[in-house]
Structure 1
């Protein structure tokens, strides 16, 4: 039977706990994605990561759950989606980071290494507006907030990831949403990777971002680009 496999790793709730891994299999008759497509998601416990999984499941009905290691031995994913973020002690931008400074960069380096080992060609990574060359077009007030808060450490980690994934040789889509909000799904507007013209108060609903991540996984429209997205 033709199936879509979604393999995802849930990130630890604290630095001392372990990653958990789950496989979801969707039957042929219930999904709209290409047949025999298998997707690995890294960072499935965050809010956007959960919505990305929900969006994949919305396009089908889960029929089984197995340990990802056993699944990975049998079926290599076609695409990896990474929604990992570096956690802080709270949602406050001034809260202390509770993860290593290169958590995202090192995780993505491991992902790329495994992709090359198993012949996986493409990774879709959730980043943020302000990463890479989009920094120069972020409003100066937001730049100041980032510089004066602990959020700057996440941006540094994202920037390491940006440079290293680009240099790795794998196909990538680096998705850079504006401020994430918990609103209903809306149409997504895509901007150039430098984010020129993005309004000061621009935002993107997490569910809209999740849909774009899945779209980027199943299509090649944005391969090897880093679109800034807003609603």
Structure 2
């Protein structure tokens, strides 16, 4: 398959690209800074802004074969990893990116229907199943800005998916708390339905497991269409 990924220079984005390439897919990555990604066979790097329809359209048309899916792996950023650090992303970065991606998909070709977006556990219907102290902490830290944007994305994608039946095959992947390195090595994502019921108090999942779930379950197997799978290890 040919895939277009938006947010490919981020931590999860790089892992999605790596996993897709090892499984013989071809990838186009739309990034603000091309030097953030190494030149690799079967990877086309396009410079652009994720919220601009024209830049996403340029990425879609950058190769003879149109992508079969668009993956959005953006996340809101802060000055540091501290949940209390000042946000550095625009408040509607993810919402505006999904809006632009849907508009570009529809304008480019009716064959481009698949949209997979990284969301987060605690968004939408999964919020009641988040451990209360965690939910309270998120609500009273600057992480709340990102969650507000994620919630707006879910409203947008559901609304757009209802406009034209069959026009948008969306998935919002909702990982639990993300981890790196050896901690989650070799572990696979377990799905806790669309809401996260039964997920436990402090669930975690490695970024590697999230990337594998996106590529192997959502993309290759075509699972979780018009769904919001909550995943943890």
Taking structure 1 as the reference length, the TM-score comes to 0.80
Alpha-carbon deviation of 1:185? 3.0
1:141-181 CA distances to partner (integer Å, 9 max, x unpaired)?
Answer: 01111111000010000000011011112111110010001
8 Å CA contact 2:21, 2:42 repeated in 1: no
Q: Write the distance in 2 (CA, Å) between the matches of 1:70 and 1:48.
A: 20
Q: Write the distance in 2 (CA, Å) between the matches of 1:134 and 1:96.
A: 26
Q: Write the distance in 1 (CA, Å) between the matches of 2:119 and 2:211.
A: 12
What is the aligned-residue RMSD (CA, Å)?
A: 1.6
Q: Write the distance in 2 (CA, Å) between the matches of 1:49 and 1:70.
A: 16
SS in 1 for 2:41: strand
Number of aligned residue pairs:
195
Q: Does 1:126 align with 2:118?
A: yes
1:23-56 CA distances to partner (integer Å, 9 max, x unpaired)?
Answer: xxxxxxxxxxxxxx21100101111111111111
Q: Write the distance in 2 (CA, Å) between the matches of 1:190 and 1:50.
A: 22
Q: Which residue of 1 aligns with 2:76?
A: 86
Q: Write the distance in 1 (CA, Å) between the matches of 2:226 and 2:43.
A: 32
Distance 1:162 1:70, change over 3 A: closer
Distance 1:139 1:71, change over 3 A: closer
184-193 or 132-141, larger mean C-alpha shift: 184-193
Q: Which residue of 2 aligns with 1:26?
A: none
Alpha-carbon deviation of 1:64? 4.9
Q: Does 1:72 align with 2:61?
A: yes
**In the alignment, which of 129, 141, 144 is matched to residue 149 of structure 1?**
141
8 Å CA contact 1:81, 1:217 repeated in 2: no
Q: Write the distance in 2 (CA, Å) between the matches of 1:157 and 1:71.
A: 25
Q: Which residue of 1 aligns with 2:155?
A: 163
Alpha-carbon deviation of 1:75? 2.5
1:86-117 CA distances to partner (integer Å, 9 max, x unpaired)?
Answer: 11111111111111110000011000100111
Q: Which residue of 1 aligns with 2:51?
A: none
| Gap regions ≥5 residues in structure 1 | 1-36
Taking the TM superposition and a 5 Å limit, the aligned residue runs for 1:173-192 are 173-182=171-180, 183-192=184-193
SS in 2 for 1:114: helix
Higher strand fraction (1 or 2): 1
Q: Which residue of 2 aligns with 1:172?
A: 170
1:186-225 CA distances to partner (integer Å, 9 max, x unpaired)?
Answer: 1221011111111112111110100011121222221111
8 Å CA contact 1:176, 1:226 repeated in 2: yes
Q: Which residue of 1 aligns with 2:10?
A: 46
8 Å CA contact 2:83, 2:141 repeated in 1: yes
Taking structure 2 as the reference length, the TM-score comes to 0.79
Q: Write the distance in 1 (CA, Å) between the matches of 2:153 and 2:60.
A: 27
